[in-house]
Amino acid sequence: MALVPMKQILDEAKKGNYGVGAFNVNNMEQIQAIMEAARRTKSPVIVQASRGALKYSNLIYLKYLIVAANEENPDIPIAMHLDHGNGLEVVKQAIDLGFTSVMIDGSLLEDGKTPSSYEYNVEITRKVVEYAHKFGVTVEGELGTLGGIEDGVGSGKIHLTDPDQAEEFIKATGVDALAVAIGTSHGAYKFKAEPKLAIDIVKEINRRCPEVPLVMHGSSSVPQDLVEIVNKYGGKMPNAKGVPIESIQEAIKYGVRKINVDTDSRIAITGAIRKVFFEEPDKFD
């Protein structure tokens, strides 16, 4: 099976009323782990290249790692997705390289930090949709902004998505999927108090636009057993807190089909490396 458009995966998720994990990757080891989990669970998967990943390597390296994963796992539907593209040029580059899905994050300007105007977001998203659809590439847009900063992305402030504006945005741009801001944030410190997401926003947007899959960014659950390993072996992650699994499951009931995860992978890798270096200091190979 060739790499598939993300729309194909999300349409199947809509039919089955389930959500699909979308995992940010930077290197071979992450991709191998994600594909092992996909095989075990017999699940489709969305593999994402983020802004931070592009700084670490580049789209060409990441493309061929994902292509290799696809060749090793021909029975698993895989979408190759550009996450948080903040300009038309990087989106075009991804499409020209064969990415089957792109996100244009017009909620921020091209620096990936400064909140944009609604008008700017509509215009840049519409241009990306127009270009991408010529090649059968899925487009994810974003309305509202998440808190926190991770991977070079984020304004640090939360602006929840307005359902009225979301309905207008979908009609004006023709996006295939919409990332909504409902109280999640990037990074490992998502909540200071008890986690609470604005599920009512998801319900209302889904009621108005049931044909468009919704996306949750900043959805790492930050498993406490993984955090404990980091802290046990010299790390310092006090008060790290993620999105409760129950909240993600609730959002899926109301149209969220794509769940973005990045931090969980980073914590798992960090803990494993710290543990090995501590327990086996003589190892170098």
Structural domain spans, the chain: 6-228+240-264
The pLDDT of residue 195 is 73
Assess whether 83 carries a catalytic annotation: yes
Q: For residue 248, which amino acid is it?
A: I
| Number of neighbours of residue 95 by Cβ within 10 angstroms | 22
The reported pTM is 0.92
Q: What is 6-228+240-264's CATH topology?
A: TIM Barrel (3.20.20)
At residue 154, φ and ψ (nearest 5 deg) are 125, 145
C-alpha–C-alpha distance, residues 28 and 63, integer Å: 11
Q: What is residue 18's DSSP assignment?
A: -
C-alpha–C-alpha distance, residues 108 and 154, integer Å: 8
The pLDDT of residue 154 is 47
Structure token pair of residue 235:
């790390």
Helix 163-173 vs helix 199-208: crossing angle, to nearest 10: 40
Residue pointed to by tokens 């983020």: 50
pLDDT tens digits, the chain, 285 residues: what are they?
Answer: 889 999 999 999 999 999 999 999 999 999 999 999 999 999 999 999 987 888 888 899 999 999 999 999 999 999 999 999 989 999 999 999 999 999 999 988 998 888 899 999 999 999 999 999 999 999 999 999 876 544 444 444 568 999 999 999 999 999 999 999 998 877 776 666 667 899 999 999 999 999 999 999 999 999 999 999 999 999 999 989 899 999 999 999 999 999 999 999 999 999 999 999 999 999 888
- Annotated active-site residue in 83, 105, 176, 262: 83
Q: For residue 173, which amino acid is it?
A: T
